[in-house]
Structure 1
Amino acid sequence: MIVTVFRTRMNPGAEEEYGPMAKRMSELARTMPGYISHKGFVADDGERVTIVEFETEEALHQWRIDPEHGKAKRRGIESFFSEFRFQICSVIRERMWTVKATGRV
């Protein structure tokens, strides 16, 4: 699995125009072969973090070169973000568990 950590800060007043574009990119990403998931968070200090998972580097590459996604990236750099940084990571190990309900009070 390939994980992208995308960290940004918004320009003042950009949120209203950014929202619909971000929603569209969310919808588009879900249609890409090899897409697994993505989630976004906003920290108390205003930093935004989006974590995106793809099955392979090739799947991520296809997302990267998608024309509509490319236009959105350029728009983000030119208009929406005062700061941005992304990191592409390979998952070395993954563990997961879910606590099961026991019915105890």
Structure 2
Amino acid sequence: MSNATTVHEPPYYAVIFTSKMGTGEDEGYGTMAEQMVALASNQKGFLGIDNVQDGKLGIMVSYWDSIEAIQQWREHTAHKVAKQKGKNEWYKGYSLKICKVEKNYSFEKE
């Protein structure tokens, strides 16, 4: 599943979140993930998101116009609650990387 529909003009930032789901119940995870995407979409500086979930593995890349926008999202109260719930209930592990995009290009076959 990909939600990003445009290529943004660099420079901008990408937050790469990779996750491994635990072996327990994932109840409520999908709903929480949808709520976080909707909430992030309304944050100042948010540019878009790409998301792929394959069973227990996931990759989500969100795009932001500045480090400050990423920091504001990191400190958002609802996002903090979701992160803690992920650590406590859903994730076996995850990693997060913040990258500055200085160049991009795309291809789409007609």
What TM-score results when the alignment is normalised by the length of structure 2?
Answer: 0.81
Please give the alpha-carbon distance, in whole angstroms, between the structure 2 residues aligned to 1:3 and 1:14: 30
| 1:91 and 2:104 aligned | no
Q: What is the aligned-residue RMSD (CA, Å)?
A: 1.5
Q: How does 1:27-38 map to 2 (within 5 A)?
A: 27-38=38-49
1:50 Cα deviation after fit:
0.4
Q: Which runs of 4+ in 1 moved over 3 A?
A: 96-99
Identity of aligned residues (%): 24
Matches within 5 A, 1:1-105: 1-43=12-54, 46-99=56-109, 101=110
* TM-score of the pair, normalised by structure 1: 0.85
Alpha-carbon distance change, 6 to 71 in structure 1, aligned in 2, over 3 angstroms: same
Which stretches in structure 2 are left out of the alignment for 5+ residues?
1-11
Bigger CA drift: 60-69 or 11-20? Answer: 11-20
User: How many positions carry a matched residue from both structures?
Assistant: 99
